Each structure stands twice: as C-alpha cells, then as structure tokens.
C-alpha cells in the first residue's frame, strides 16, 4: 500500500486475532484517526482524508460520501466519535457484503464467487479479471479473501453493497450523441422492481432531448452534406451556417429537431423491452449474459426499435431538408408523403439502416469493453472509475461505432431524401454506393463526418450534465438508490 500506510499494515496484523475485544479495535481506530488528523485539531476534513488516503486512489466524490455518511452533526468534518461510529456501521455493511459473496459459507471468498456475483448483476468478467480483483485484496497469498482482508481493503471505501460495484461498469450514464444504436444496459431484478430502471431511462431521455436540441444545427449540416454531396453545400461549417441562416433565418437551424426529440422516448422504451425479452431467451439457465449474447440481444432489440419508429426517421430527414414554406409541420409532411409517394416512402433506406446496427453496436460494445478492462488492468481491484473515465469510455466507443457505420448511415439518408430531390434518380442501396464511389471516391461515403464529429464533445457534455440534474430531481443517486438529496 506504500510507506504512508504502515498503520494500515499494523491494523491488519492486529486484526489477525479472533473477533474480539472491542478495546483493540478502538485502539486501532484511534491510531487511524491520529494519522489522518494532520493538523491535530481533533477533526478530520475532506482535505485531510484526501491527503491521508491518496495512495488508495479514492475519488473526491467517494470521500465526500464517507464524510456525509459519518457527519451526524452536519458540521462538514468528522470528530473521533463520528469517525468510530461510521467505521462501526460500515463494518456491519461490509460483513453483509462478505457473506453475500461467500456462497459456500466457508469463511473465504474465492475467484469463482467474485466472478459469479458480478455476473449475476450484469457485469461480465472473465476468470482472469476476477483473479486480478482477488489478488488486489489477497495479502497472505492463499488465493482466497478472508474477512480481515476484505474489511481492511474496504474500510475507507464508501461502497455499501455489491450492486454499487456492478453499477460502476454498467453504462448507466445515458450519453447521447445523436444515434440510438447502442446496446442497452443490463439491470438486476431488484432494480426493475424498485422502479430504478424507468427513472434511469427517463433521465436518459431528458438528457438526450436537451443534447440533441443543443447540437441540432450541426446535425442539420451533416444531413445536408450527406444528401447533396460535393455538388452543393461546400465550404466550412461556418459557411454552411450562413447558408442556412440566409435561407430561413435563425430558427431554420433547428429544422427537424422536433421529431428527432419526439422519437427518443418510444425508441428507448421499445429497445429496452425487446432487449429484456431476447436476453431472457438467450440466458434462460444462467443469471448472467455473455458479451456475445449481449451483442446479439442488443442488435435484435435495436432492429426491433428501428423498425417500429423508422417512419419518424424518414420524416426527420425530410423536415431537416425542407425549404421555407414547404411543410407546415410534422403532420403536413407525413400527409404530403403519403399522398405523393404512398406508404412505402416511410421505409425508404430501411435496409442500410438495419445493416448499420451490427457494426455500430458491435464496435461500440467491443471498444467499451476494451477500454474498461484496460482501466481495470491499470487500477486493479473493485474501485470507482470516476465520472471522467466512464464518460470518456462511452464517448470514445460511441464515436468509433459511428465511424464504422457512417457509410451506411449516409446511404440511408440519401435514400430517405431521394423523392424530395427534383430530378434525382431513384437508386437502390448498391447502385447508390457505386455511384458515390465512382463520382466522389471512397471519401464520398464520409461526407458530413466533420460536423458529426464536432458535435460529439458538446453532445456528451450536455447530456451528462442534464442526466445528472434530472436523476437528482427524480431522487436517484448515481448508485441507483432513492434519496431525498444528492450531489452533483
């Protein structure tokens, strides 16, 4: 643990005795308090905790949770009595966690028990990953964790149950960069029964709505460049803004955004419901789902949701491309399409859209799992990865998924817009690909990628901030508990 943790090593030696006398435990806690109380004023504040526990790698938020849990008189610091009361209560919770993992009640936790516990809560880890977690706590080299090792490792960690460990690595941040093709999260039965799932989905939908509205002008530029290619709409992003502003005024920058926001709720609900049904079928005899099964279930769920809401996707493209006065609203656009082109118009581009789900979901999931385990390899143990790690992993993996599926997304958009372009030939998917490659080269399949990439950082930032505030309003903290107050 490093030289500054000599008192922690001493505590481990002392705790090798059988459970008992409380005097020894109180003496050990007094030594810990004295070590952490750097200015010797009889209190421990968040600054002293961060300095004293620096080698443990705890985030500021984790330490704030510890102070908040123990600070009974609400003065923002811990005196010795509050400190010992917190440790006493926390040890009880750690004991419950220990017994929950110790399935065979032999007083020790092994690798299989760690893996099976996390898998039962939707976090898929291999035996090697579980071994790394065990080794971070196994001080005597027995390849098992006894109660003393477990308690000493988590004594200053504010975790209160194994579900919190699992939730760190479930993608519950609900980041939205404009495409809803990601594989849904796995939730435990307890989370479903408590209503936590739908509060999470509601917070995610709200975050997506604000995020898409904030980046709608960039999305409109992307659609224009996808449809018109290099023939029109050339120049920088700023030039594109000026063209749109000149044609329809400032509000024209948000054309198509209304229906883009409206489709979030039904798409999320249908995808989650379909995912749960496929998941149950694929893992009937097990409490967990493997990564490849999750990919298949997520792809099928995405295909189901896209099939159900696809007419809204077509309407979004038509409304985004419309000129001033062309349609009076969503209903008028749908009416004109139905009268002039028939029902089939609402499913133009459906095939490339369906095909794009596989590379998007597959690469998104693979990159996220790779980044996750890369972090775990560098930070061995059951630790809080922190907001920046989770947001960073989600943003990078989603961006990689978009890059892989972008050519199919471009073909989809062009097919959706074909009837609205005067004199444009009605080409099939393969004919469109050949036409674009022959006229513009392979780079033509990536027209509009620059504004699409430009919106990633603002989209992720806005969706995260709105998600945080929404879940606080709903009374759900980041670990999923209902509560009257929360911290951003």
Q: pLDDT tens-digit profile of 3-51?
A: 344 344 334 444 444 444 467 777 888 888 888 888 888 888 888 887 8
Task: Calculate mean pLDDT across residues 116-144.
Answer: 76
The answer to whether residue 455 scores a pLDDT higher than 50 is yes
Whole-number pLDDT of residue 229 = 67
- CB atoms under 10 Å from CB of 41, counted, come to 11
- CB atoms under 10 Å from CB of 96, counted, come to 12
Alpha helical stretches, state H, 322-448: 330-341, 350-378, 387-417, 429-440
Q: pLDDT tens-digit profile of 344-371?
A: 999 999 999 999 988 888 888 788 878 8
How far is residue 16's CA from residue 175's CA, in Å, rounded to a whole number?
46
Answer for the pair 292, 362: CB distance below 8 angstroms, yes or no: no
Strand-pair partners of 485: none
Task: Calculate mean pLDDT across residues 431-454.
Answer: 90
Whole-number pLDDT of residue 7 = 40
Q: Domains in the chain, start-ordered, CATH in brackets?
A: 25-173 (1.10.238.10), 189-474 (1.50.40.10)
Q: pLDDT tens-digit profile of 48-93?
A: 887 877 666 566 667 777 788 888 888 888 888 888 888 888 888 8
Chain mean pLDDT for the chain: 78
In this prediction the pTM is 0.67
Tokens 């992720």 belong to residue: 460
Q: pLDDT tens-digit profile of 265-301?
A: 898 888 888 888 887 787 665 555 666 777 888 888 8
Up-side HSE of residue 179: CA atoms within 13 Å toward CB?
Answer: 27
Residues 6+ apart with CB under 8 A from 373: 129
Residue 164's nearest CA partner among 134, 131, 203, 191 is 191
Answer for the pair 475, 200: CB distance below 8 angstroms, yes or no: no
- CB atoms under 10 Å from CB of 90, counted, come to 21
**pLDDT: is 113 or 483 the higher one?**
113
Give the largest CA-CA distance in the chain: 89
Q: pLDDT tens-digit profile of 291-304?
A: 677 788 888 888 99
Tokens 């809204």 belong to residue: 312
Whole-number pLDDT of residue 17 = 43
Whole-number pLDDT of residue 175 = 56
pLDDT band at 385 (very low <50, low <70, confident <90, very high): low
Whole-number pLDDT of residue 284 = 63
Residue 225's nearest CA partner among 447, 488, 373 is 447
Which tokens hold the place of 409? Answer: 């997304």
Whole-number pLDDT of residue 331 = 94
Strand-pair partners of 482: 476
How far is residue 340's CA from residue 335's CA, in Å, rounded to a whole number?
9
């Amino acid at each position: 643990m490093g030289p500054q943790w000599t008192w922690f090593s001493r505590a481990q030696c002392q705790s090798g005795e059988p459970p008992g006398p409380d005097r020894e435990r109180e003496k050990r806690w007094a030594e810990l308090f004295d070590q952490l109380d750097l200015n010797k004023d009889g209190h421990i504040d968040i600054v002293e905790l961060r300095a004293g526990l620096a080698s443990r790698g705890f985030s500021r938020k984790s330490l704030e949770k510890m102070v908040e849990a123990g600070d009974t008189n609400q003065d923002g610091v811990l005196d010795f009595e509050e400190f010992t009361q917190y440790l006493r209560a926390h040890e009880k919770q750690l004991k419950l966690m220990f017994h929950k993992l110790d399935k065979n009640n032999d007083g020790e936790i092994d690798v299989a028990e760690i893996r099976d516990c996390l898998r039962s809560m939707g976090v898929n880890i291999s035996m090697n990953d579980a071994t790394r977690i065990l080794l971070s706590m196994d001080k005597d080299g027995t390849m098992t964790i006894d109660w003393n090792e477990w308690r000493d490792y988590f004594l200053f960690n504010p975790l209160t149950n194994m579900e919190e460990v699992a939730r760190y690595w479930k993608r519950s941040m609900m980041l939205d960069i404009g495409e809803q093709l990601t594989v849904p999260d796995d939730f435990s039965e307890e989370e479903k029964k408590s209503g936590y799932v739908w509060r999470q989905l509601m917070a995610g939908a709200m975050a997506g709505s604000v995020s898409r509205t904030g980046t709608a002008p960039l999305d409109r530029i992307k659609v224009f460049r996808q449809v018109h290619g290099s023939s029109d709409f050339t120049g920088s992003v700023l030039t594109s803004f000026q063209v749109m502003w000149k044609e329809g005024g400032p509000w024209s920058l948000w054309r198509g955004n209304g229906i883009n926001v409206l489709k979030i709720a039904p798409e999320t609900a249908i995808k989650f419901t379909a995912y749960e049904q496929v998941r149950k079928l694929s893992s009937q005899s097990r409490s967990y789902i493997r990564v490849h099964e999750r990919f298949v279930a997520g792809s099928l769920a995405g295909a189901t949701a896209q099939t159900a809401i696809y007419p809204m996707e077509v309407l979004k493209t038509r409304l985004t491309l419309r000129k001033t006065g062309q349609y009076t609203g969503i209903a008028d656009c749908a009416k004109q399409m139905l009268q002039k082109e028939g029902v089939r118009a609402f499913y133009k581009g459906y095939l490339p859209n369906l095909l794009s789900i596989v590379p998007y979901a597959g690469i998104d999931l693979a990159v996220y799992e790779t980044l996750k385990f890369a972090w775990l390899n560098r930070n061995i143990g059951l630790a809080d990865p922190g907001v920046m790690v989770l947001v960073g992993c989600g943003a990078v993996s989603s961006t990689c998924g978009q890059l892989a599926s972008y050519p199919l997304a471009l073909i989809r958009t062009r097919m959706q817009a074909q009837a609205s372009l005067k004199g444009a030939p009605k080409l099939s998917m393969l004919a469109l690909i050949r036409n674009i490659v022959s006229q513009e080269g392979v780079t033509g399949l990536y027209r509009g990628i620059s504004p699409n990439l430009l919106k990633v950082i603002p989209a992720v930032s806005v969706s995260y901030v709105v998600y945080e505030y929404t879940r606080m309003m709903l009374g759900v903290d980041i670990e999923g508990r209902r509560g009257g107050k929360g911290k951003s």
